Amino acid sequence: MSEHIVSSKLYIGIWLTLLFLTGLTAGVAFIDLGPFNTVVALVIASVKATLVVLFFMHVKYTSEKLTKIVIASALFWLLLLLGLSLADYTTRLMR
């Protein structure tokens, strides 16, 4: 992280947004959106995670490109594990 000091107002703002999104995701779960319930839940979770990474973990303010490469690589590798495994499970002739 850099020496950039984030204002406490911004931190409070992010915190309130995270709390709001938490309530939102819990509330939306009770509304019937069909298969989109899962999508919405994951999108909200990803927004929350992105806010934590960018602001609380200072990735928005860092001059280190390597940090972003490390995060992107880890996420990509996780997707590899999930995706290629699913390639087997979704093409089996069962159930």
Partner 1 sequence: MAVESHELALRHHFADPEQQRQAASLGMWVFLATEIMFFGGMFCAYLIYRYWYFNEFAAGSRSLDITLGTVNTAVLICSSLTVAMGVRAAQMGKNKLLVVLLLLTLVFGFAFLGIKGVEWYQKYEEHHIPGPSFDASDLIREYPQIHIDPQHSQIYFSLYFAMTGLHALHMVIGIGIFCYLTYFAVRGRYTPEYHTPVEIGGLYWHFVDIVWIYLFPLLYLIDRKPLG
Partner 2 sequence: MATAAVTAERENYLNQQYGIRSWLLTTDHKRIALLYLASITFFFFIGGFFALLIRLELLTPAGDLVQADTYNKLFSMHGQVMVFFFLIPSIPAVLGNFLVPLMIGAKDLAFPRINLLSWYLYAIAGLMYIHCILTGGVDTGWTFYTPLSTAFSNTKVIEAGLSIFVVGFSSILTGLNFVVTIHRMRAPGMTWSRLPLFIWAHYATSIIQLLGTPVLAITLVLVVLERALHLGIFDPKLGGDPLLFQHLFWFYSHPAVYIMILPSMGVITEIVPCFSRKRVFGYEFVAMASIAIAVIGFLVWAHHMFVAGISLYSAMIFSFLSYLVAIPSAIKVFNWTATMYKGSIRFSTPMLYAFGFIGLFTMGGLTGLFLAALGIDVHVTDTYFVIAHFHYIMVGGAVMGYLGGMHFWWPKISGRMYPESWGRLAALIVFLGFNLTFFPQFILGYLGMPRRYWQYPPEFQVLNVLSTAGSTILAVGYLLPMVYFLWSMRYGKVADDNPWGASGLEWMTTSPPPTFNFEETPVVTWEAYDYAHIPDPEEVAVER
Q: Which does 93 bind (CB under 5 to 8 A by kind): partner 2, partner 1, none?
A: partner 2
Minimum Å gap between C-beta 32 and partner 2 is: 27
Q: Which does 91 bind (CB under 5 to 8 A by kind): partner 1, partner 2, none?
A: partner 2
**Cβ-defined contacts of 50-56 (< 8 Å, 24+):** 51/14, 51/17, 51/18, 52/14, 52/18, 55/6, 55/10, 55/11, 55/14, 56/11, 56/14
Is 36 a residue that touches partner 1 (CB under 8 A)? no
Q: Which does 37 bind (CB under 5 to 8 A by kind): partner 2, partner 1, none?
A: partner 1
| Alpha-carbon distances, residue 46 vs 31, 54, 87 (angstroms) | 20, 12, 23
Among residues 95, 82, 91, 20, which one has the least CA distance to residue 51?
20
> For partner 2, what does the binding mask look like between residues 50 and 69, x meaning CB under 8 A?
----------------x---
* Cβ distance to partner 2 smaller for residue 31 or 84: 84
Among residues 52, 55, 30, which one has the least CA distance to residue 41?
30
Q: Given the rule CB under 8 A, which residues bind partner 2? A: 66, 73-74, 77, 80-81, 84-85, 87-89, 91-93
